[in-house]
C-alpha cells in the first residue's frame, strides 16, 4: 500500500482529523493499545440502535428477530475472517475475558472431578501437571494461568527470551513434556513486537496431548490468521484493536473442546433447563454468553471486518511491515536509542518498544505528546518482559493501516527534541549516561 493509499485509508477515521495540545495534528501511534474507528463502524453501531435495537435471543417480536439475526450474522462474518465457522466463535467482553474463560474451564473441570462428576480429563489439573506460558506474555495471558496453577497445585513454567527479543526455543521439548496440560502463548508480543512460532509450539503441545491457547490480540488485527493453519485449540482477541468497538472480545475454540467445557459466567440465556435445585446448560457458543450480549458491538465488529476485507488484510499487513522496516531503520541508527525487541524486520509486527538513554519513558512520552505524537509508555502490562530486559518502562510506538512514513518522521523528530530538551542530544550509544 503506497503512502497515498494509507492517507486515503486514514480519511475514513474522523478522530484522526482532530488536533491535540494547542492545535497540533494528532499523530496516533498507539494502535497496539486500541485502534481508532472508521465512520462505517460507528454508523453500523448507530444503525443497529436506531433500527433494530432489542435484546437478542429473547422476545417474540420483530425487533428481537432482527437483532438476533444481526448478532448471529455478525458472528458468521467475524468467524469467517479467521477461517472458522460461527459455532466455534464465542463473544466475550474482551480478550482478557476470553483467556479467563479457558483458564476457568480448567479450574471448573478440576473442581467438578473432585466432586465425582464426569468431566473431560484434558481439562483436569492435578499437582505435578504443568502449564506453559512465555516470559513475554501480556498480564492477561499470565495472571489467569498463575491463578489456575495456584488453585489446582499445577506448576507454571515458561519459555525464556533471547537477548534479541525472541522466544528461547532451545528447550522446547523439555519445557513441553508429558506433564504439560496446557500451553498458552502470545502470537505477537504487544511489547516486543515479536511474532512467535506458535504453529511449531502447537505441534509440540499436541504431541504430548496438551491443549494450545494463543493470545492473538496483536496478530488478528494486523496479519492474516487462519485458525486451521495456526494449529491452535483456542485463540483469543479483542474487537477494539481491529477498528471495531470496545466492549467485545472473541474466543475461537475447536467445537469438540467447547462442547466439553463447563461454563465460566453463568446466568440467563446460557441454560437449557433450570429448576430450583440445578440447571443444565446450552450448547456452545451460547453456553459461554450469559446475559444480554453486546449485539451492537458485534455488528460494529463485523463491519470492521468488512472494512478490513475491502482493502485486504494482506495489503494492510504489507503496509504495516514496510512502515515497521522504515521505523526500525531510523531508530536503529539513532544515538541513545535502544530497541527492546527484535531490531530486524523479520517475524515481527508493527509495535516497536524502545528506551532513550538518560530520559525516562514517561518524560519521553510527555515531550512526544507535546508534539501531538501519541505513544504508550510504561510496562505495557508485560512487566516480566521489562524485567527480563532490565527496564522499568519503555516507550512504544505501534502502527495500524492509517499510519504513514510521515508519522514515523514525526516520531523521530519528537524523540530528537526530547533528547535536546533533557540535554542528552548527541550522546553516542556508548557514551550515553545512565538515566536511572
Partner 1 sequence: MDLESMYQEVILDHYRSPHGKGELDPFDAEVFHVNPTCGDEVTLRVKLSDDADPLVEGLGHVGQGCSISQASASVLFDQVNGQPLSEAMPIVDEFSMLMYSATSDVDIATLDDEKLGDAIAFEGVAKYPARIKCALLSWMAFREAVETAQASKTN
Inter-residue contact 122 to 233 (CB < 8 Å): no
379 binds partner 1 (CB under 8 A): yes
Q: Is 381 a catalytic residue?
A: yes
Buried b (16+ CB within 10 A) or exposed e, 7-23: eebbebbeebeeebeee
360 binds partner 1 (CB under 8 A): yes
Q: How far is the CB of 96 from partner 1 (least distance, A)?
A: 16
Q: Which of 338, 372, 344, 366 is nearest to 422 (CA)?
A: 366
Which one of 97-105, 142-150, 235-243, 365-373 is the stretch in contact with partner 1 (CB under 8 A)?
Answer: 365-373
Among 191, 361, 400, 411, binds partner 1 (CB under 8 A): 361
C-alpha cell at 370: 507535546
Among 195, 377, 400, 410, binds partner 1 (CB under 8 A): 377
33 binds partner 1 (CB under 8 A): no
In sequence order, the 6+-apart residues with CB closer than 8 A to the CB of 294 are 91, 93, 247, 248
CB atoms within 10 A of CB 114: 12
Among 269, 422, 425, 427, binds partner 1 (CB under 8 A): 422
326 binds partner 1 (CB under 8 A): no
22 binds partner 1 (CB under 8 A): yes
Among 83, 160, 335, 378, binds partner 1 (CB under 8 A): 378
Among 304, 313, 386, 397, binds partner 1 (CB under 8 A): 386
393 binds partner 1 (CB under 8 A): yes
* Nearest-angstrom CA–CA distance, 217 and 32: 9
* Nearest-angstrom CA–CA distance, 364 and 356: 8
Cβ closest to partner 1, residue 262 vs residue 372: 372
Cβ closest to partner 1, residue 93 vs residue 139: 139
Measured CA distances, 6 to 217, 318, 397 (Å): 22, 12, 17
Cβ closest to partner 1, residue 192 vs residue 213: 192
Q: Which helix (H) or strand (E) holds 309?
A: helix 295-311
C-alpha cell at 208: 504430548
21 binds partner 1 (CB under 8 A): yes
* Nearest-angstrom CA–CA distance, 186 and 169: 14
Among 112, 147, 363, 409, binds partner 1 (CB under 8 A): 363
Which residues form the catalytic set?
Answer: 381
In the complex, which residues of this chain contact partner 1 (CB under 8 A)? 21-22, 359-363, 366-367, 370, 377-379, 383, 386, 392-393, 421-422, 436
Amino acid at each position: 500500500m503506497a503512502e497515498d493509499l494509507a492517507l486515503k485509508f486514514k480519511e475514513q477515521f474522523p478522530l484522526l482529523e482532530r488536533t491535540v495540545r494547542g492545535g497540533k495534528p494528532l499523530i496516533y501511534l498507539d494502535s497496539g493499545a486500541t485502534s481508532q474507528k472508521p465512520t462505517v463502524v460507528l454508523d453500523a453501531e448507530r444503525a443497529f440502535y436506531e433500527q433494530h435495537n432489542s435484546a437478542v435471543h429473547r422476545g417474540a417480536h420483530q425487533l428481537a428477530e432482527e437483532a438476533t439475526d444481526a448478532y448471529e450474522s455478525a458472528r458468521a462474518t467475524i468467524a469467517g475472517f479467521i477461517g472458522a465457522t460461527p459455532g466455534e466463535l464465542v463473544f466475550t467482553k474482551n480478550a482478557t475475558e476470553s483467556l479467563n474463560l479457558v483458564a476457568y474451564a480448567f479450574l471448573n473441570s478440576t473442581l467438578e472431578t473432585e466432586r465425582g462428576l464426569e468431566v473431560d480429563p484434558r481439562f483436569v489439573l492435578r499437582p505435578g501437571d504443568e502449564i506453559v506460558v512465555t516470559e513475554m506474555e501480556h498480564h492477561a495471558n499470565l495472571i489467569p494461568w498463575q491463578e489456575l496453577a495456584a488453585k489446582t497445585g499445577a506448576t507454571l513454567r515458561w519459555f525464556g527470551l533471547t537477548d534479541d527479543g525472541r522466544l528461547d526455543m532451545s528447550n522446547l521439548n523439555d519445557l513441553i513434556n508429558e506433564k504439560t496440560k496446557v500451553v498458552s502463548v502470545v502470537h505477537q508480543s504487544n511489547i516486543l513486537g515479536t511474532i512467535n512460532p506458535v504453529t511449531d509450539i502447537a505441534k509440540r503441545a499436541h504431541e504430548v496431548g496438551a491443549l494450545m491457547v494463543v493470545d492473538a490480540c496483536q496478530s488478528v488485527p494486523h496479519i492474516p490468521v487462519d485458525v486451521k493453519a495456526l494449529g491452535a485449540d483456542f485463540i483469543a482477541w479483542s474487537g477494539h484493536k481491529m477498528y471495531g468497538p470496545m466492549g467485545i472480545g472473541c474466543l475461537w475454540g475447536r467445537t469438540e473442546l467447547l462442547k466439553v467445557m463447563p461454563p465460566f459466567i453463568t446466568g440467563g440465556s446460557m441454560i437449557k433447563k433450570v429448576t430450583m435445585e440445578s440447571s443444565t446448560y446450552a450448547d456452545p457458543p451460547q453456553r459461554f454468553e450469559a446475559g444480554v450480549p453486546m449485539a451492537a458491538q458485534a455488528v460494529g465488529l463485523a463491519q470492521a471486518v468488512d472494512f478490513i476485507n475491502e482493502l485486504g488484510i494482506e495489503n494492510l499487513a504489507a503496509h504495516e511491515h514496510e512502515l515497521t522496516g522504515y521505523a526500525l531503520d531510523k531508530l536503529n541508527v539513532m544515538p541513545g536509542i535502544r530497541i527492546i525487541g527484535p531490531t530486524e524486520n523479520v517475524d515481527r509486527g508493527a509495535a516497536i518498544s524502545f528506551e532513550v538513554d538518560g530520559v525516562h519513558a514517561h518524560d519521553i512520552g510527555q515531550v512526544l505528546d507535546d508534539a501531538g505524537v501519541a505513544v504508550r509508555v510504561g510496562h505495557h502490562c508485560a512487566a516480566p518482559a521489562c524485567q527480563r530486559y532490565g527496564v522499568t518502562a519503555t516507550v512504544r510506538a505501534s502502527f495500524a493501516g492509517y499510519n504513514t512514513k510521515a508519522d514515523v518522521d514525526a516520531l523521530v523528530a519528537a524523540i530528537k527534541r526530547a533528547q535536546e530538551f533533557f540535554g542528552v542530544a548527541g550522546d553516542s550509544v556508548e557514551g550515553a549516561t545512565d538515566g536511572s
